[in-house]
A and B are shown apart, each in its own frame.
Chain A
Amino acid sequence: MATPPDFTAGQVLEANAHMNKVGLWLIKTQATGSAQSSVVVSDVFSADYENYRIIVSGGSASGNIGLNMTLGATTTGYYYGHHHVTWAGTGVAQGGANATSWSAIGLGTSTALSMIADVSLPFATARTLINASSVYTDTTAATGFARWTNGFLDNATSYTAFTLTTSSGTVTGGTVYVYGWRD
C-alpha cells in the first residue's frame, strides 16, 4: 500500500491509516466582496479543531491599508508585537498592549491583500494565540515590507467567528480561506 500522500488510482482510503492523518482541512471559503470595510467570517471555530490557519489572498485595497483582526465582538485585550523589514533592509518594531484589535496583522495595497495567520485555541475557554505574516506589495524599497506578528487575546472566551476590518478604505475581490489543523 502506498504511503500517504502518494496514493494510487482506485486505492481505498482507510480512516486511521490515511484520512485521520490528513493535517489540514478546509472549513470555509469566503469572498471579501466589493468595496467592503469589514468582513465578518462566522461559524468557523468549533470543537472540531484547536488550531486554525486563515489566509487572505487575491483582490486589492482602495489604498494602503492594514487589516485589523478581532474575534467575536471583543474590542479589548489584544496584545501583539510586529516586526517588519523593508526591501531596503530597515527593521521596524511595534507593539500593542490591551489594544482594540490585532492591528494591521494583514496588509493591503492597490495590487494585493496579504495575510497568513495561525490561530490557536479560539474556541477553547482559554487565551487565543496568533502567529501571522503578511506582505506589503509596494515596489519602493524604503516603504515596501514584510511583516511578522505574534500575539494573544487576554480572555478565556470561546469564539466561533472573526472579523477583518480595514484601517481605512475598503477591500475588493479577495478571498478568505479558513482551515483547521487536525488535532
Chain B
Amino acid sequence: MPAKKEQPIRINDNGVERDATPEEIAHIEVIRQSNDPYVAGLAE
C-alpha cells in the first residue's frame, strides 16, 4: 500500500490561501517551539 500523502501546510497570507513554502514551514516550526505545554497536553 502506498504511503499516505501528507497534507500541505496552508497559510492565509493576508487573505490569500496557499501552500506554505519550505521557508515558511521552517518559520512555523520555530514558532511552535514555544508551544504552551498545558494546551499541548489537551491536544493529545
State which of B12, B32, B37 has its C-beta within 8 Å of the C-beta of A39. Answer: B12
Interface centre among B9, B31, B43 (most CB of A within 10 A): B31
Decide yes or no whether A150 CB sits under 8 A from chain B.
no
Find the A residue at minimum CB distance from B39: A66
Q: Is the CB of B39 within 8 A of A75?
A: no
Which residues does chain A contribute within 8 Å of B36, judged by CB atoms? 66, 82, 94, 103-104, 167
**Given known contacts A36-B10, A36-B12, A165-B32, A94 and B38 CB-to-CB distance under 8 angstroms:** yes
Decide yes or no whether A65 CB sits under 8 A from chain B.
yes
Bound-complex Cα distance A41 to B7 (A): 23
Indicate the size class of the contact surface on chain A.
35 or more
State which of A37, A64, A73 has its C-beta within 8 Å of the C-beta of B43. Answer: A64
Find the B residue at minimum CB distance from A96: B34
Decide yes or no whether A155 CB sits under 8 A from chain B.
no
The 8 A CB mask of A23-48 against B (1 = contact, 0 = none) is: 00000001111111111111100000
Decide yes or no whether A20 CB sits under 8 A from chain B.
no
